[in-house]
Amino acid sequence: MIDARLRHAYAGFALDVSLELPSSGISVLFGSSGCGKTTVLRALAGLLRAEGRIALGGEVWQDDALGVFVPTHRRALGYVIQGSALFPHLDVRANLDFGARRSAPSEQRIAIDQAVALLGIGPLMSRRTQTLSGGERQRVAIARALAAGPRLLLMDEPLAALDAARKDEILPYLERLHRELSLPVVYVTHSMDEVARLADHLVMLQAGQVLAAGSPVELLSRLDLAAGEVATGRHEAGVVLDAEIVEHDEAFGMMRVGFGGGSLWVGAAGRPLGERVRARVLARDVSVVRQAPGETSILNVLPVVLVGVQTDRNTVLLRLRMHDRDARTPDGVHLLARITRKSCDILRLREGDALFAQIKGVALM
């Protein structure tokens, strides 16, 4: 468990957060610029001195009450920033060695060779850093952070400076890191795509405060958060589902993904049965009908219960519970649907109505 209580005041802005992040998986700090997410990360790294307390498991990195402040270079962490900050006077290999040489052998949780293999940078080892592409630089920066044997990896918008193609080049490596290492990661981003794809634990920040923290499956289906300042504007509301590939339909190039009680057909192929995947369903791709449709081109039609309605000017956001609660998902698994206010009025939708959700699009992340 990573425990942090941090307070920090700037001109016209105050950060005051209390975080409990799981000791494995990727925790994403999400919010618009100026919400304080980078400040939190810098404080965790000790690059910025906020007031409060930071503890990683039993190890205390900062405790103002006890007068403890461990300087950055004595914290077993890795830090990757947007611009990668590779040392221009060293080649790739020397950049990797930099942190590895400075951490005690007992601290080296990840061998250089392993970091090199994980990030696929073997062919780059003797290159000068100036000759690397943006994506390559970022992979080297991540490997360099890993080779120093961190107990916690901090990533500050590591993909923000890259174009879409380069992002797609890096993301599989991040997912691989996530699968193959038990290293906890705190990942800062303002991109909902990265949240949907990477987050195991989500912390939404707004104006220096924690707006909500928890599982992204739950948080992204909450009406108050979906309609709030964080989600609207730049991001269309939508839920994520933790699913598993349960069926292939080779003839039509489709796969069925199951999650708890429900399942959805997805137009994608090439992923093995049983693989865990993240699916994303945007609210605008979901519509509702009262009776089960007879003949429809829409493959994914699920029985749902309307559990929440939120009007947002001329559209209405519906929260739909897809199936009965089970042990794994005690609150049920939800969809969001965005319909017009007029449709809502015509259908006379009320909380508790039994409906069918028609899902036009599902994206596998």
Partner 1 sequence: MTADDWRTIGLTAELAASSTLLLLLVGTPLAWWLARTHSRLKPLWASLVAMPLVLPPTVLGFYLLLLMGPQGPVGQLTQALGLGRLPFSFAGLVVASVIYSLPFVVQPLQQAFEAVPERMLEAASTLRAGPWDRFANVAVPLARPGFVTAGVLGFAHTVGEFGVVLMIGGNIPGQTRVLSVAIYDHVEAGEFTQAHSLAAGMVVFALAVLVTLYAVNRRARDDESAPR
Q: How far is CA 342 from CA 140, 227, 315, 316, in A?
A: 53, 19, 8, 9
- The one among 57, 87, 340, 345 contacting partner 1 by CB under 8 A: 87
Minimum CB separation of residue 118 from partner 1 in Å reads 18
Give the helix/strand (H/E) hosting 343: helix 341-347
Q: Which two tokens stand for residue 345?
A: 């009025």
Minimum CB separation of residue 74 from partner 1 in Å reads 8
- The one among 36, 39, 43, 79 contacting partner 1 by CB under 8 A: 79
Q: Does the footprint of partner 1 cover residue 148 (CB under 8 A)?
A: yes
Helix (H, G, I), strand (E, B) or coil at 101: helix
Q: Does the footprint of partner 1 cover residue 302 (CB under 8 A)?
A: no
Q: Are 183 and 177 in contact (CB under 8 A)?
A: yes
For partner 1, give the closer residue by CB, 89 or 350: 89
- In 3-state terms, the chain is what percent helix, strand and coil (to 5)? 30, 35, 35
User: How distant is the alpha carbon of residue 192 from its chain centre?
Assistant: 8
Q: Which two tokens stand for residue 116?
A: 């090199």
Helix (H, G, I), strand (E, B) or coil at 155: strand
Strands 254-259 and 286-289 come out as unpaired
Contact string 233-262 vs partner 1 (x = CB under 8 A): ------------------------------
Q: Does the footprint of partner 1 cover residue 190 (CB under 8 A)?
A: no
For partner 1, give the closer residue by CB, 6 or 148: 148
251: left (phi over 0), alpha (psi -120 to 50) or beta: alpha
Q: Does the footprint of partner 1 cover residue 32 (CB under 8 A)?
A: no
**Window of 98-106, 210-218, 300-308, 332-340 that interacts with partner 1 by CB under 8 A:** 98-106
159: left (phi over 0), alpha (psi -120 to 50) or beta: alpha
Q: Does the footprint of partner 1 cover residue 73 (CB under 8 A)?
A: yes
Q: Does the footprint of partner 1 cover residue 99 (CB under 8 A)?
A: yes
The count of chain residues that interact with partner 1, using the rule CB under 8 A, is: 28
Q: Does the footprint of partner 1 cover residue 38 (CB under 8 A)?
A: no
For partner 1, give the closer residue by CB, 76 or 277: 76
- Nearest residue to 261 (alpha-carbon basis) of 336, 324, 353: 324
**Window of 95-103, 195-203, 282-290, 336-344 that interacts with partner 1 by CB under 8 A:** 95-103
Q: Does the footprint of partner 1 cover residue 184 (CB under 8 A)?
A: no
- The one among 18, 23, 24, 103 contacting partner 1 by CB under 8 A: 103
Q: Which two tokens stand for residue 142?
A: 């991540």
From CA 47, how far away is CA 39, in angstroms rounded? 9
Q: Does the footprint of partner 1 cover residue 47 (CB under 8 A)?
A: yes
**Window of 80-88, 216-224, 250-258, 317-325 that interacts with partner 1 by CB under 8 A:** 80-88
Q: Does the footprint of partner 1 cover residue 24 (CB under 8 A)?
A: no
Q: Does the footprint of partner 1 cover residue 129 (CB under 8 A)?
A: yes
Q: Are 221 and 195 in contact (CB under 8 A)?
A: no
Q: How far is CA 30 from CA 46, 97, 189, 204, 213, in A?
A: 20, 32, 5, 5, 10
Chain residues in the site for partner 1 (CB under 8 A): 45, 47, 71-74, 77-79, 81, 83, 85-89, 98-99, 102-103, 129-131, 134, 144-145, 148, 154
